[in-house]
Amino acid sequence: MMDTRAVNQRTKPAANPPERSRAAGAVTARTGVGDRFSSWTNHHREMWRESWARFFASPMSSGMTALVIAIALALPAALQLGLTNFQKAVAGWDGQPQISVFLHKRARENAVQSFADDLRGDPLVAGVTYISPEQALAEFQQSSGLGDALLGMDSNPLPAVLLVRPRGSDTTSLETLATRLRDSAMTDSVVLDMAWVQRLAQLTELGQRMSMGLALLLALGVLLVVVNSIRLHIENRRDEILVVKLVGATDAFVRRPFLYTGLVYGLVGGLIAWLLVSGGVWLLAGPISGLANLYGSGFRLDGPGFTYLIGLAGGAALLGLTGAWLAVARHISVIQPR
Amino acid sequence: MIQFDNVNKRYESGQDALGRVSLEIDRAEMVFLTGHSGAGKSTLLKLLTAIERPTRGNIIVGGQNLNRLRNSQIPYYRRNLGIVFQNHQLLFDRSVFDNVALPLSVSGCSRREVGRRARAALDKVGLLHKEKQNPIVLSGGEQQRVGIARAVVNKPALLVADEPTGNLDPKLSEEIMGLFRQFNAVGTTVLIASHDLELIARMRQRVLTLQQGQLIYDGYPSREPAY
């Protein structure tokens, strides 16, 4: 800051009238640090209020910008939510492959039981379920509707089955266990059904990555939308920027309203995005629970909860702020008094 | 207060707007800057307000060498400067009061202080009763007075005016000049660029005349003719 105090002291004529020295003295009236800080926070508060006022002063254009942001964010958010729900729906099976051990028809019941007990003691095994031929038959009759066909047979064609749940899910330990089960004298065949588990995991991973990529791409889109809107704001307020720069506004002061405007765009966009996703869930919840009932599952669609609200609003606000920064950094320094 | 030492300004187009201008203006002086359009008046004011930087030479204002002013310091330098524009540069999206208060909120005054000083400045130019109006409904003379109130609201040591009476009739011009004289009387250094020679003559103040970027006259026209 210009140090006029010293100059004042030096050049002030001795016979100054009191009026005169007051005016000269006022030049050097500095605001204290505390005052400065409170005026700084005041300006922030003011800009926060003003950017909301500006947002609602032109509801059409601001609303459209916010809606574009909202749609761009709702897409990846909905995809992510869908994936989370899908994972929840398949939870219970996923990652827990099951080994079905079909035993020889001639294996005696008590030998099978002791084999099952042995397996239960195996460190690689988490649990064993024994299904006797009779149980298997009953289950088959119930679920296949082919009961009558089986009634015509004089003996039960189904073997006893041991359902082995392995402790680990890594391929090598599963293969070791499967080989050991296969080697048992009582075993007819071993079915290690891992392929679908792997497929499911891969599909989920694919979905995750796609939603990630989409989110990145659309976040970039949001950024560009904000940059463009803020650029227009800056153009519209060009005269004001010139005047405040001439009366001594720092760059930070000039930037502030635009940064808040970007923040408000993002925040509103994020809130609308959350509403869009919630609306989508509300629309789909009925049919999905109906579908789940038909499959005998109690699955219910999870809505975007509080975490989504915070995540979407916060993330969008951050994007808005970043976009505004980019716009401001590019366009405000160009506007200089001529 | 103001010292120009061999100041040269050459624009990128290669045109010399000011060539080797040296001058000195004391604290609490009132000085008129005159000359035909294109003589370098605006350039001189732009150098003084740190809108442009000199190509060569030093400009010292209030003990501060403007060449040594970093870009980030310019806002703080301008806060000690009152600038009055020919087209007053008022903002029509806010009230007269808010226009005048702008330099205060920019420099971070408390709200109470802003109210007090902005009203004092408006009172000084006789427009306190119009503080709530939009400047667009005011007459040209009133708008210029609002512009002056905004320029002096920070109590600057130096008041710079670029053709402040350019669009006003003689009576209003006289009024505006009266205001400048009042500020000068309380110790503010006033530099007014104008081509209204008749008005300048009546003011009986020091006159600087520029011609093709050269300072060709520096004196009191009441005692000797300017041309």
Residue A151 pLDDT class (50, 70, 90 cuts): low
Torsion of CA A336, B4, B6, B9, to 10 degrees: 20
| Nearest CB neighbour to B109, from listed A20, A26, A39 | A39
Nearest-angstrom CA–CA distance, B220 and A151: 130
Nearest-angstrom CA–CA distance, A119 and A130: 11
Scored b (16 or more CB within 10 A) or e, B43-67 reads: bbbbbbbbbbebeebebbbbbbebe
* Residue A27 scores a pLDDT above 80: no
Q: Do B78 and A247 touch (CB under 8 A)?
A: yes
Contact B89/A at CB under 8 A: yes
Contact A249/B at CB under 8 A: yes
pLDDT above 70 as % of chain A: 83
Residue A95 pLDDT class (50, 70, 90 cuts): low
User: What confidence tens digit (pLDDT) does each residue in A158-210 have?
Assistant: 888 888 887 766 667 777 888 888 888 788 888 876 667 677 778 888 888 98
Residues of chain B with Cβ-Cβ distance to A3 below 8 Å are 62-64
Looking up tokens 């009366």 gives A247
pLDDT for the residue A330: 87
pLDDT for the residue A9: 40
* Residue A7 scores a pLDDT above 60: no
Q: Between these two residues, A97 and A207, which has the higher pLDDT value? A: A207
CB-neighbour burial class of residue A144 (10 A; exposed 0-12, middle 13-18, buried 19+) = exposed
Long-range residue pairs from A51-60, CB within 8 A, at least 24 positions apart, any chain: A51/A257, A51/A260, A51/A261, A51/A263, A51/A264, A52/A264, A54/A261, A55/A261, A55/A264, A55/A265, A55/A268
Nearest-angstrom CA–CA distance, A36 and A30: 10
pLDDT for the residue B172: 86
Please give the DSSP secondary-structure letter assigned to residue B138.
S
Q: Do B108 and A43 touch (CB under 8 A)?
A: yes
Residue A2 pLDDT class (50, 70, 90 cuts): very low
Q: Calculate how close chain B gets to A31, using CA atoms only, in Å.
A: 7
Q: Superfamily assignment of B2-39+76-219 in CATH?
A: P-loop containing nucleotide triphosphate hydrolases (3.40.50.300)
Residue A96 pLDDT class (50, 70, 90 cuts): low
Q: What is the mean pLDDT of chain B?
A: 88
* Residue A134 scores a pLDDT above 90: no
Residue A148 pLDDT class (50, 70, 90 cuts): low
Find the mean pLDDT for residues A83-97: 70
Instruction: Write out residues 31-60 of A within 8 Å (CB-CB) of B.
Output: 31, 35-36, 38-40, 42-43
User: What confidence tens digit (pLDDT) does each residue in A52-69 have?
Assistant: 998 998 899 899 999 999
Mutation pick from B11, B66, B72, B89 vs chain A, by most beta carbons of A within 10 Å, is B89
pLDDT for the residue B103: 92
- The token pair that represents A4 in the structure block: 């006029």
Yes or no: say if B104 and B153 are a contact pair by the CB < 8 Å rule: yes
Residues of chain A with Cβ-Cβ distance to B51 below 8 Å are 246, 336-338
Yes or no: say if B26 and A10 are a contact pair by the CB < 8 Å rule: no
DSSP string, B54-74: -SEEEEEETTEEGGG--GGGH
- The token pair that represents B39 in the structure block: 């003589």
- The token pair that represents B27 in the structure block: 């604290």
Q: Do B187 and A38 touch (CB under 8 A)?
A: no
Smallest Cα–Cα separation from B197: which of B172, B216, B221, B171?
Answer: B221
* Residue A281 scores a pLDDT above 50: yes
The set of residues, in sequence order, having a beta carbon less than 8 Å from that of A60 and lying 6+ positions away, is: none
The set of residues, in sequence order, having a beta carbon less than 8 Å from that of A152 and lying 6+ positions away, is: none
Contact B115/A at CB under 8 A: no
Residues of chain B with Cβ-Cβ distance to A36 below 8 Å are 108
pLDDT for the residue A272: 95
The set of residues, in sequence order, having a beta carbon less than 8 Å from that of A157 and lying 6+ positions away, is: A150
Q: How many residues does chain B have?
A: 227
Looking up tokens 């720069």 gives A245
Instruction: Provide the residue-wise pLDDT of chain B in tens; the chain has 227 residues.
Output: 899 998 888 888 888 888 888 999 999 999 999 988 888 888 899 999 999 899 999 999 988 899 998 988 999 999 989 999 888 889 998 999 999 999 998 888 888 889 999 999 999 899 999 999 999 999 888 999 999 999 999 899 999 999 888 878 888 888 889 999 999 999 999 999 988 888 888 888 899 999 988 888 888 875 555 44
Q: Do A39 and B81 touch (CB under 8 A)?
A: no
Range from A30-39, A98-107, A260-269 that averages highest in pLDDT: A260-269
- Tell me what percent of chain B is helix, strand and coil, each rounded to the nearest 5: 40, 25, 35
Yes or no: say if B114 and B105 are a contact pair by the CB < 8 Å rule: yes
Q: Do A31 and B188 touch (CB under 8 A)?
A: no
Beta bridge partners of A192: A99
* Residue A18 scores a pLDDT above 50: no
Residue A304 pLDDT class (50, 70, 90 cuts): confident
Mutation pick from B49, B110, B150 vs chain A, by most beta carbons of A within 10 Å, is B110
Please give the DSSP secondary-structure letter assigned to residue B130.
G
- Antiparallel, parallel or unpaired: β A125-131 and B206-211: unpaired
Mutation pick from A16, A240, A243, A245 vs chain B, by most beta carbons of B within 10 Å, is A243
Looking up tokens 């923040």 gives A263
Residues of chain B with Cβ-Cβ distance to A239 below 8 Å are 89, 91
Distances (CA, A) of A56 to A66, A235, A281, B25, B92: 12, 19, 29, 51, 20
What is the value of ipTM here, to two decimals? 0.88
pLDDT for the residue B203: 84
Contact B40/A at CB under 8 A: no
DSSP string, A99-159: EEEEEPTT--HHHHHHHHHHHHH-TTEEEEEEE-HHHHHHHHHHHHS-HHHHHTSSS--PP
Set out the domains of chain A in order of their start, with CATH numbers. 41-91+200-331 (no CATH), 99-193 (3.30.70.3040)
Distances (CA, A) of A328 to A225, A235, A317: 14, 11, 16
Yes or no: say if A276 and A67 are a contact pair by the CB < 8 Å rule: no
Torsion of CA B110, B111, B113, B117, to 10 degrees: 130
